A and B are shown apart, each in its own frame.
Chain A
Amino acid sequence: MSTLLECKNLSKRYEKGMALSDLNLKLESGRIIGLLGPNGSGKTTLLKLINGLLVPTSGEVRILGNTPGVETKSVISYLPDQTYLSANQKVTQIIDTFADFYADFDRSRAYHMLQKLNIQPSERLKTMSKGTQEKVQLILVMSRRAKLYCLDEPIAGVDPAARDYILTTILNNYAEDATILISTHLIQDIENILDEVVVLQNGKLKLQASVEDIRMERGVSIDTMFREVFKC
């Protein structure tokens, strides 16, 4: 296993205070990693820093040795927490854009998944339900053959049956040497497909551990552990 991503003393300050402070983190390739933490713990900030949407206040993040830029964007597939797609576009048009933009985009994979989830490629985004729009975005992101997938709350808005399909889709579609970083509050739904969890609290790394080790050592599920650690 080789290091795919490394954060060194990574900090991000917003006007209201520190969103991430002095984060040191290493992620290996070939893993499915859950990015967990209470609201406001810094999950989305971390994903934005990895994807170059934010610039660190201090410290650095490197993906395969590179700081975020053109090269890292060609190997990272990112599902942001808010959509950036134009609601007026048809799915086919968005697919064309993605295929144009990303050399690693696999059209046939995208159309196959759309068909599986009964989504008409000729439909416009704005005529779809919120859940269906989210499915389309996830399909686009998972149709790239990337080295790192950053998924910010990918299953929050979709029904449980579609959630199952999406998780299977994730399992089916990532290459063995790719890593998937998933931020979510729906721990129960995804914990069985994870290798490890990265838990943030107040912008700091609270825990990075293998999920099987947590189950073995503590005898609890990841969901239960989270509820115990962050009990209000």
Chain B
Amino acid sequence: MAWNLDSQRPIYAQIIERVQYDIVSGHYNPGDKLPSVRELACEASVNPNTMQKALSELEQSGLVYSQRTTGRFITKDTSCIRKIREELAKQQVLEMIRRMKQLGFTKEETLTLMDKIYEEATYEHTIGV
């Protein structure tokens, strides 16, 4: 279905990640209105109560705010969005470091390899950089 969710992990946590990613990547702009809980639940094919819970947590983190009667909006606080962006990037890097360590790579080897692959990929236009 529309959202690719993993049934082995709590759904609300995955919804939070997905909306964070949509905000950071510019799918939603600061100040944009979010669809209603019901609409989002249908789009994602998830339980509306679960969607509600995820949005409440996003609200508590400050990334989303709600205005009585008019709905939920993406924060206009771009520093908050930058912070989340850095946090998401950090998680990705940590995950990569962990895997490289499992493969027996040192920090220097990892950095050298990264540099090399980045250059190659840029040259071959295989990544959008």
Contact = CB atoms under 8 A, between A and B. Distances in A.
Nearest to A176: B48
**Interface SS majority for chain A:** helix
A168 B42 contact: yes
Interface stretch (B4-12, B86-94, B103-111): B4-12
A172 B47 CA distance: 11
B129 interface: no
Interface stretch (A40-48, A76-84, A121-129, A215-223): A215-223
B7 A168 contact: no
Interface string A182-199: 000000100111110000
A22 interface: no
A193 B47 contact: yes
Interface in B12-58: 12, 38, 41-42, 44-50
A192 B46 contact: yes
Contact of B7 (A31, A172, A176, A188): A188
Count class of interface residues, chain B: 10 to 19
B127 interface: no
B73 to A, nearest CB: 22
B47 A215 contact: no
A164 B48 CA distance: 16
A228 B12 CA distance: 24
A212 interface: yes
Contacts of B45: 164, 167-168, 171, 192-193
A194 B12 CA distance: 12
A89 interface: no
B10 A216 contact: yes
A30 B42 CA distance: 16
Contacts, number: 53
A195 B47 contact: yes
A141 interface: no
Contacts of B9: 215, 219
Nearest to A168: B42
B12 A212 contact: yes
Contacts of B50: 195, 212
A212 B10 contact: yes
A192 B8 contact: no
A157 B12 CA distance: 30
B109 to A, nearest CB: 32
Contacts of B48: 171, 176
Given A212-B12, A215-B11, 4 more contacts: A192-B47, A193-B46, A221-B6, A224-B8
Interface of A: 30-32, 164, 167-168, 171-172, 176, 188, 191-195, 211-212, 215-216, 219-224
23 contacts: A31-B49, A32-B47, A164-B45, A167-B45, A168-B42, A168-B45, A171-B42, A171-B47, A192-B5, A192-B7, A192-B44, A192-B47, A193-B47, A194-B47, A195-B50, A211-B11, A212-B10, A215-B7, A215-B11, A216-B10, A219-B8, A221-B7, A221-B8
